[in-house]
Amino acid sequence: MTTNRIMNHPVLGKLENRKTVTFTFDGQTFEGFEGDTIASALLANGIRQLRVHEETGAPRAIYCNIGHCFECRVTVNETDTVRACMTPIQNDLKVESGKMQPAPFNTSPENWPRTYAEYEERNKANKDGDSNV
Ligand code: FES
């Protein structure tokens, strides 16, 4: 397994005895350790870019790593908007990077959603093809 990990940590111990899992990211097969998140398994394999910005196409990666910022959105087994930093890796998981999508709302600041619930509602309406929300 390619690794960017600390394999023998003075406090956490050795990683070498951990069970490995196999998963794919954008069609390429990787290994991670049981207990890894998708983000940590990808980082250990040298993958930093998880998606691109919806409007600009700029590369995006983990930012907060605690589930708050949603910068790490990926598609997992056909389910999009999955946070890679919060989702444990599993055997045979099919992970795909976030692709450039149409913006879920008008990008003028005065039209930005004021709550996450409002963002989700608009995003769902956008996916359902309802442009009136
Ligand atoms: S990196 Fe912030 S939610 Fe995953």
What domains are there in the chain, each with its CATH number?
8-124 (3.10.20.440)
- Tell me which of 64, 81, 95 to substitute to probe ligand 1's pocket, judged by most ligand atoms within 8 Å of the beta carbon: 64
Rounded Cα distance between 118 and 15, Å, is 42
Please report which confidence band the pLDDT of residue 15 belongs to, taking 50, 70 and 90 as the band edges.
confident
Q: Which atom of ligand 1 is nearest to the CA of 70?
A: 3
Rounded Cα distance between 109 and 84, Å, is 27
Three-point CA angle 40, 43, 45, nearest 5°: 115
- Structure confidence by residue, pLDDT tens digits, 26-56: 999 999 999 999 999 999 999 999 999 877 8
Q: Is 108 exposed, middle or buried (0-12, 13-18, 19+ CB in 10 A)?
A: exposed
Rounded Cα distance between 16 and 73, Å, is 29
Structure tokens at 18: 């951990």
